[in-house]
Chains A and B, each alone.
Chain A
Amino acid sequence: MEFFRFSRNAWGQTTLEGVSFDLFWVFLGLALAFVVAHALFTTMNARGKAKR
């Protein structure tokens, strides 16, 4: 996976084009992973408190 997009111009020079849009799935995945982890943590925490 690449972090940036590059292009090559007529003189063979590499030019930065922007961020790689493959990262879309990383940003989406990290946010969804946090959501799942937080939901599990708060559910287990609430059950633990209810037992005590």
Chain B
Amino acid sequence: MSSDRIERHKLIDRAFHWVMAACMFALLITGLAPKLGVDFAWITIHWLSGFLLVLIVTGHTIRAVFWQSVKSMWFAAADAKALAAVLRSSDGPKPGKYSLAQRLMHHAVTVFCLAAIATGLVMLAKIDSPLWTRDPYLLSAETWGLVYVVHGFAALTFVSLIVLHVYFALRPEKLFYLRSMVFGWISRDELAANHNPALWAGDK
């Protein structure tokens, strides 16, 4: 990497992001399209995509805890200042690796992804596969209803989150973040203009 470029995302993290994106699109299309009247054989693609999502989220969590800085994604009391500045439409303090909006998006995705995964794993009991036999009586009808409510609500929330995520990724002033998620780097000028180098000056 040339000296005027700062590494923002390693290849493994970019691969995780794009595989997760592919899984999310596969899950939303196969999960929601049949409910909206577009019927096709969706169950196998849906649960296999969900399985892949579980695997990569587990890998990402282990990597984030043991190899990356969990602190860079944390929401601390000092961030209240940044939030107040955003609400006043003025420039707040420059962030470390991730801006306040990026961290809030990550936390929202974490909460709804874990909810969808936990309920999705339980829902596997309703289908047959080479690895297990279906048992629709695992839970009572009322409990199954709650499981489906949480799973469906998480899926619908992801529709909103994905629209917002794509919008902000494509905004002209944020395009360098999209480039960094493809090629891994930002420039020193972009670092100086958008981040506090004392808090983050590139991944090591």
Contact = CB atoms under 8 A, between A and B. Distances in A.
Interface of A: 4, 9, 15-19, 21, 23-24, 27-28, 30-32, 34-35, 38, 45
Given A15-B141, A24-B36, A35 B163 contact: yes
Contact of A31 (B89, B153, B160): B160
A30 to B, nearest CB: 6
B199 interface: no
B98 interface: no
A51 B69 CA distance: 42
For this complex, into which size category does the number of interface residues on chain B fall? Answer: 20 to 34
Interface of B: 32, 35-36, 89, 141-142, 145-146, 148-149, 151-153, 156-157, 159-161, 163-164, 167
A44 B146 CA distance: 44
A18 B143 CA distance: 10
Interface of A is mostly: helix
13 contacts: A4-B149, A17-B145, A18-B148, A18-B152, A19-B149, A19-B152, A19-B156, A21-B152, A24-B156, A28-B159, A31-B161, A35-B163, A35-B167
Contacts of A38: 167
B157 A27 contact: yes
A15 B156 contact: no
